Structure 1
Amino acid sequence: MPAPGWFPRALATEPEHRDVEVDGARIHYRVWGEPGRPGLVLVHGGAAHSGWWDHVAPLLATHRVVAPDLSGHGDSDWRPAYDMARWAREVLAVAGAEQLTRPVVLGHSMGGWVALTIGVEHGDAVAGVAVIDSPLDRQPPEEQTLREQPRVHRVHPDLAAAVARFRTLPAQDVYLPDVREHVARGSLRAVEGGWTWKFDPGFFGTRPLVRQLLPRLAAPAALFRCEQGLVTPEMAAEMAALVPGGLPVVDLPEAGHHPMLDQPLALVTGVRTLLALWPPARPA
């Protein structure tokens, strides 16, 4: 079955690829849209990369959109250790390199922890932060999965074999096939003997709980809840009660934990709506 027409049209709007140095590491990022437009930063989840947004960012053309590869991911450098505060600084450094003034920061899963850390530690630097399916009382789900796996990537003999082995962390049942293939190919690098994954298998660590971050937010916040994801309606209500000034909750129908892979147009619609309504009033 051919890809739906919107998908190749979105990929035809190719990003510019740039780098910025943060705390001694080269941080790679993608950028779309006209300079001078309002800023939007898209932060991938654990074990992912900025290419997860390739088919999403071009559909958010009202904004100048940037998407970093956090250190230990994608085409950015690896570090001896990783923490949310440093990843937050990387995100803000990318925004600064593109002269984005008080952008909105949207983070998926583990990237939601990064977005919330920015909202807590650098609230004045952003117009707002939003998270996609980051649960209340768990460590980032990608990191929980990695703790149980070997610390060395398997090398696959050819690119097709590696793409066939692509799985998300955590796994989900539904992916759009063309989106999955595009994201999988961008997740791989050539090494001696074949192909392996780009991310550092040792990027995980102990993170603050979302429950601990929400009451400390110094910037407006919003939640995208995936109907087939990790955040239940009851959890979303509890999260909203923890946030000074409230927490708008956008439900993404039928979406799994990784909505850009199974319900990207629903995600785009939700983000477009949020951006049309923000910046909201700042919390007291």
Structure 2
Amino acid sequence: MSCPATESAGVPAWFEEALAATPERRVAEVDGTPIAYRVWGEAGRPGLVLVHGGAAHSGWWDHIAPQLHSHRVVALDLSGHGDSGRRPAYDMATWAREVVAVAAAEDLDRPVVLGHSMGGWVALIVGVGHPGAVSAVAVVDSPLVARPPEEDRLRERRRPSWSYATAEEAVARFRTVPHQDVLLPYVREHVARNSLRRVEDGWSWKFDPQLWGRPPALPELLPRLTCPAALFRCEKGLVGRRMAAEMAGLVAGGLPVVELPDAGHHPVFDQPLALVTGIRTLLAFWPHGGPARH
């Protein structure tokens, strides 16, 4: 459930136009759990699936997806996130199956899958575990670490029930994990309000506090990629140049690195247009349904 939004001054026209492109909202059942997702663009176009990071949801892409005009774009809420159902336990392989199932529900023929942070790990598992289901994968600031950056901080903040008396109080407390200095206020407002659900004593965040699954072993996963892949490296994010080079060295044939200048770990909040430009460029060089890389 979304809470009522308030008007904000200084919102650029491109952002208002993007939000005016209201997505279709649908649900697919995967392994007995309802998975909510959003769809933009005409049917029959090449497919692109966007995967959010830990504790996020598909609404993080609301101002990004409508600008990717060349594709039919799907953004899902992984189980335990957003408007999707919850599970007794979570793992990356299940989230990868959800991505593949939602793409199939929309008749997307070998879509590109792009994920941010933890969602990038999910995208890589899709590429390795379901190579026939995708044409390429891309990751946005997904680090070569043992756990997603969101997990440590959120473990510290877990409570049996985390709620706020008003939506305004909750929005005021919205923070990214890890913290970054620049959050465009109109993006922050939209994402924060759509991250809330109504509960008995007020408002709470939509994600399941127990959502974390076992992380993948990227040094073992990356060498198994056979489809085209790319890394978006945020200049102020978690993947430094040395780590990016290490990741590229693990992929047969290398891993193209797209640099996002002055971007933090969450480029949808501080450099959304640079991210859109990078994705558009990447999609132009990745013909739909191209041959697998061997």
* TM surpasses 0.5: yes
Is residue 49 of structure 1 aligned with residue 57 of structure 2? yes
User: For 1:70, which of 67, 71, 78 is the aligned residue?
Assistant: 78
Matches within 5 A, 1:86-235: 86-235=94-243
**Per-residue CA shift, 1:146-175, capped at 9, x if unaligned?**
222224342101111110010112121110
**Per-residue CA shift, 1:84-137, capped at 9, x if unaligned?**
111001011110011000000000000001000001101121010000001113
Moved over 4 A (4+): none
In structure 2, the partner of 1:266 is 274
Matches within 5 A, 1:16-35: 16-35=24-43
Give the alignment's TM-score, normalised by structure 1.
0.97
* Cα distance between partner residues in 2 of 1:6 and 1:130: 24
* Cα distance between partner residues in 1 of 2:211 and 2:131: 25
Contact 1:20 1:97 in 2 (8 A): yes
Identity of aligned residues (%): 69
Contact 1:151 1:202 in 2 (8 A): no
Contact 1:139 1:209 in 2 (8 A): no
5+ residue gaps, structure 1, are: none
**Per-residue CA shift, 1:52-96, capped at 9, x if unaligned?**
000000000110000000000000000000001110010111100
* Number of equivalent positions: 284
Q: What is the root-mean-square deviation of aligned Cα atoms in Å? A: 1.1
Shift, 1:221, TM fit: 0.8
Contact 2:146 2:215 in 1 (8 A): no
Residue identity in the other structure for 2:101:
A
* Cα distance between partner residues in 2 of 1:254 and 1:97: 37
* Cα distance between partner residues in 2 of 1:188 and 1:265: 25
Shift, 1:145, TM fit: 2.1
Give the alignment's TM-score, normalised by structure 2.
0.94
- 2:273 aligned counterpart, secondary structure: helix
- 1:273 aligned counterpart, secondary structure: helix
In structure 2, the partner of 1:283 is 293
Residue identity in the other structure for 1:62:
S
Contact 2:92 2:213 in 1 (8 A): no
